[in-house]
Amino acid sequence: MNKLILPVIALACMLAPNASFAQVEPMHEMVDTIFNTMKKMEAKEFFGPKMDIMDLGEKIEVKAELSGIDEKDINLSVEDGVLTISGERKLTVAEDEQDYYMREISVGSFSRSITLPKNIDESKAEAIFKNGMLTIYFPKVKAREDNSRKIPIKVEN
């Protein structure tokens, strides 16, 4: 028996005091499945770049931390005001064959999208990758006039 069986049996006895062990066993299997799924999810933890967005006056700066990723494995796009950074952190064959005592550095594919401020010129974006940091600059455009207007509502009887 694993260490979860006793708490599951105790819970089942509280919920259904007249239940037999055969009736409790499916509950144990369900709890076991939930915990095993959670362990697998932790192992495949999402990773994506941590990002900063700053207003530098004449331009907006977006920084993404991409240490351990080769620039050829990074895809960068912007569409309708949404910046998407995607890519893959790969293991070398030598790293994959090692026996780890602990492993926290995530590997695999990632994608991260953020909505950019509206007052930028997406077509003039520039990106620089240096020392594991991707920096993207978007020049600002002059604020457009507010073309909204109030629409009067007519009441009909």
Block residue for tokens 């007249």? 18
In a domain, 151, yes or no: no
In a domain, 147, yes or no: no
Q: Are residues 21 and 77 in the same domain?
A: no
In a domain, 149, yes or no: no
Mean pLDDT computed over 5-12: 62
Measured in whole angstroms, the distance separating CA 11 from the mean position of its chain's CA atoms is 35
pLDDT, one tens digit per residue, over 15-39 is 666 666 666 566 667 777 776 666 5
Q: Are residues 57 and 131 in the same domain?
A: yes
In a domain, 68, yes or no: yes
CA distance 157 to 151: 19
Can you give the pLDDT at residue 92? 67
pLDDT, one tens digit per residue, over 79-105 is 989 999 999 888 765 666 677 777 777
Can you give the pLDDT at residue 137? 96
94: domain CATH number? 2.60.40.790
Can you give the pLDDT at residue 43? 47
- As to burial, measured by CB atoms within 10 angstroms (0-12 exposed, 13-18 middle, 19+ buried), residue 66 is buried
- Domain range for 18 is 5-43
Q: Using CA of residue 142, residue 143, residue 146, residue 147, what is the dihedral sign?
A: positive
Mean pLDDT computed over 43-62: 83
Can you give the pLDDT at residue 22? 64
In a domain, 14, yes or no: yes
Q: Are residues 98 and 126 in the same domain?
A: yes
| Higher-scoring residue by pLDDT: 26, 62 | 62
In a domain, 12, yes or no: yes
Supply the pTM of this predicted model.
Answer: 0.60
pLDDT greater than 50 at residue 67? yes
Q: Are residues 85 and 110 in the same domain?
A: yes
Can you give the pLDDT at residue 77? 94
43 backbone dihedrals φ, ψ, rounded to 5°: -65, -30
| Helix (H) or strand (E) segment spanning residue 30 | helix 21-43
Q: Are residues 58 and 36 in the same domain?
A: no
Do residues 85 and 49 lie in contact, with contact meaning Cβ atoms separated by under 8 Å?
yes
pLDDT, one tens digit per residue, over 101-157 is 777 777 788 899 999 998 899 999 999 999 999 999 999 998 666 667 788 888 887
In a domain, 114, yes or no: yes
Q: Which residues lie across from 111 on neighbouring strands?
A: 86
Q: Are residues 71 and 101 in the same domain?
A: yes
How many domains would you assign to the chain?
Answer: 2
Q: Are residues 37 and 107 in the same domain?
A: no
In a domain, 119, yes or no: yes
